[in-house]
Amino acid sequence: MVKPGKIDVLIIGSGPAGVATSLTLSARGIKHLLVEAQKEPQRKPGEALPPNAKPLFRQLGIDHLMEHPAHLPYYGNQSTWKDAALQTEDFIRDVHGHGFLLDRLLFEEQLHELVQAPFYKGYSLRSVSSHEKGVEAVVESSHDTLHLKAPYIVDATGRKASVCRHLGITPTVLDEWFGLWFYVDGKAPKQIFVESTDKGWWYAAPFGQEQITMMFFTRKESIPAKAAIPGFLHQQFRAATQLSKTFSIPDLNTAEVQIRPSGTACLDQPYGSNWLAVGDAAYAYDPISSFGITSALAGGYYAGHALADTLQGNSDALEVYRYVMENGFIGYLNKLSNL
Ligand SMILES: Cc1cc2nc3c(=O)[nH]c(=O)nc-3n(C[C@H](O)[C@H](O)[C@H](O)COP(=O)(O)OP(=O)(O)OC[C@H]3O[C@@H](n4cnc5c(N)ncnc54)[C@H](O)[C@@H]3O)c2cc1C
């Protein structure tokens, strides 16, 4: 690990948002470091990248990552809502061609390999204090405690928004949806399948050549006690008449099903005098939008430039960052309300 000298920006969290911020700061020659709670990337839910993510990938210089054969082409969507006929959206007419169904763990490993800054893996944020000249963050691993200082700190900790919470800022949760997530063996067409039931909606997509990612999204109050979750999922699967014609799910045990918050949340303002939030920490999207990864990468790109501009004396740059990200989020909310 490269030892940091004087640092201008601390980035906490190294998912897509944290890494995109780091790549942009490196390109702008800004001294920074990354802190990540996990020693190695973990398997996360979320793999669908729509075709319109491609220009952003080129802009960030990460388009070559998609050449790995483990990232599958994504040719379109099939969906059915409330017994309506099955709708097909084929990307064959999309100006950008197909999208990608990521091997998400591999993608995060690939992103980490691109980081050029000092990278503290296995260190969790314990506290943040803000003072006139910047921030001090205390981060801790199993064997070490570090006191890190810089003029700016970036919250890239995902939905936890840990930096913000340490600073007393809490995201507003707009809806309390959760994803019940598991894998089944089998082959599936390289597209996403979505079907609603009375309690929520199913998502199914191929994961590699031999597995299928299955998720059922539902409101908090619909999730039964842990032991009853497999039965609940089987019942909802049978209720999804199209999905159950195409896929099958085996007997599940509770340990195979992971539960992840997946509702919509946002901060009132994504920056303050010496902090900035990016990705899910600032604006968390409902997974049905497939905006999350692209928005986290785009947020990191714009956040990196906004911080570099601010450090070079442009006092409007963070407000412009807010304008761009907030309007993207408002556009998404308008789209949802018109569904
Ligand atoms: C069930 C589900 C399905 C989804 N499906 C899709 C999809 O198909 N397509 C799509 O585009 N998006 C999808 N998403 C959303 C997408 O996964 C997120 O939007 C994306 O991961 C956000 O990236 P991020 O970098 O902001 O946060 P994250 O990817 O969550 O990364 C945050 C990082 O911060 C680290 N961290 C957290 N706390 C601390 C701490 N205190 N100290 C140090 N490090 C810390 C974490 O370990 C993590 O590595 C889905 C989400 C869910 C829940």
Ligand 1, atom nearest to 261 Cα: 53
Residue 196: CB within 6 Å of ligand 1?
Answer: no
Beta-carbon contacts of residue 54 (< 8 Å; ≥ 6 apart): 63, 96, 97
Q: Ligand 1 atom 7: the closest Cα is on which residue? A: 46
Q: Ligand 1 atom 27: the closest Cα is on which residue? A: 158
Q: Positive or negative CA dihedral for 99, 190, 231, 256?
A: negative
Beta-carbon contacts of residue 326 (< 8 Å; ≥ 6 apart): 270, 283
Q: Positive or negative CA dihedral for 20, 24, 25, 29?
A: positive
What is the distance between the alpha carbons of residues 326 and 238, in angstroms, rounded to a whole number?
A: 39
Q: Using the predicted structure, report yes or no on whether residue 21 has a pLDDT greater than 90.
A: yes
Pocket test for ligand 1, best of 10, 280, 291 (most atoms within 8 A of CB): 280
Cβ pair 155, 135 in contact under 8 A: no
Residue 18: CB within 6 Å of ligand 1?
Answer: yes
Residue 36: CB within 6 Å of ligand 1?
Answer: yes
Dihedral Cα 167, 320, 265, 280, nearest 10 deg: -80
Residue 16: CB within 6 Å of ligand 1?
Answer: yes
Q: How far is the CA of 73 from the centre of ligand 1 (A)?
A: 22
Q: Ligand 1 atom 26: the closest Cα is on which residue? A: 279
Q: Using the predicted structure, report yes or no on whether residue 306 has a pLDDT greater than 60.
A: yes
Q: How confident is the model at residue 193 (pLDDT cuts 50, 70, 90)?
A: very high
Residue 286: CB within 6 Å of ligand 1?
Answer: no
Residue 157: CB within 6 Å of ligand 1?
Answer: yes
Owner of token pair 């907030």: 326
Q: How confident is the model at residue 290 (pLDDT cuts 50, 70, 90)?
A: confident
Q: Which two tokens stand for residue 320?
A: 């412009």
**What CATH number should be reported for the domain whose range is 177-261?**
3.30.9.100
Q: Is the CATH number of domain 9-45+105-173+266-337 3.40.50.2000?
A: no
Pocket test for ligand 1, best of 38, 148, 157 (most atoms within 8 A of CB): 157
Q: Ligand 1 atom 16: the closest Cα is on which residue? A: 292
Q: Using the predicted structure, report yes or no on whether residue 3 has a pLDDT greater than 60.
A: no
Predicted local confidence at residue 153, as pLDDT: 98
**Dmax (CA) of the chain:** 62
Q: How far is the CA of 83 from the centre of ligand 1 (A)?
A: 32
Q: How confident is the model at residue 338 (pLDDT cuts 50, 70, 90)?
A: low
Domains of the chain, residue spans:
9-45+105-173+266-337, 177-261
Ligand 1, atom nearest to 123 Cα: 43
Dihedral Cα 297, 298, 300, 302, nearest 10 deg: 170
Q: Using the predicted structure, report yes or no on whether residue 337 has a pLDDT greater than 80.
A: no
Q: Using the predicted structure, report yes or no on whether residue 2 has a pLDDT greater than 50.
A: no
What mean pLDDT, rounded, does the chain reach? 93
Distance, first Cα to last Cα, the chain: 48
Q: Using the predicted structure, report yes or no on whether residue 76 has a pLDDT greater than 60.
A: yes
Average pLDDT (28-46) is: 95
Q: Using the predicted structure, report yes or no on whether residue 4 has a pLDDT greater than 80.
A: no
Buried b (16+ CB within 10 A) or exposed e, 181-215: bbebebebebbbbbbbbebbbbbbbbbbeeebbbb
